[in-house]
Structure 1
Amino acid sequence: MLKNRRQSVNRPPTPDLTDDQAKVPTLQEVINIKLIESGEKEQLMELVREKLTECGWKDEMETICRAYIKKQGRKNVTLDELVRVITPKGRASIPDSIKAELLQRIRTFLVSAAL
């Protein structure tokens, strides 16, 4: 009797248990959602932009980009390539004081949001 049963073309297969588990947001995702919903993420981004400009990091990255483009030739460099080459240098050169301040602001937010 079961052999004659056909699956519905319109109904998707029943999801596995692992599919349901994948939908549970991670702690990092929950924190990111809370930061966005509260508007704190945009404030933190603006803080980082200001601090990086104040300390000269932005100008330093601009100089490195210009030097790379000059070395490779303007027509031989794509934006994707430039980002791939410069990103590790940029991340490594962010001052520890800015990282520490950002981390402290995130911790303060998490305490106030009771996460």
Structure 2
Amino acid sequence: MIGERVKKYRQEKGMSLTELAERAGVAKSYLSALERNIQQNPSVQFLEKVANELNITIDHLIKDTVEEGESGLDSEWENLVKEAMSSGISKEEFKNFLEFNKWKMKKEDD
């Protein structure tokens, strides 16, 4: 069940129900109902918010098992992305870094 997996990952991260709800921007009551299997069909948007805060993919919440590499990234890349996310870097900052790196590589080739 999705709720059981949310609870498992939340507890693994050492987060309280309140903390996850606040950080993900979702209703604590809904999150609690999901974890207790009262609510069983959360929206994709809800799952995205929760998964992002838990630094996992939605697949981890909806599937019993997730095969390594199923995200399309090897484990080293996946860990680097998670580290970047947990460090507080924004998507925009990361995109800017990539653009700068492309520009720098192009300059070196010229």
TM-score (norm 2): 0.27
Return the index of the structure with the highest Cα Rg.
1
Greater per-residue helix proportion: 1
User: Which structure has more RCO (C-alpha within 8 Å, separation ≥ 6)?
Assistant: 1
TM-score by structure 1 length?
A: 0.26
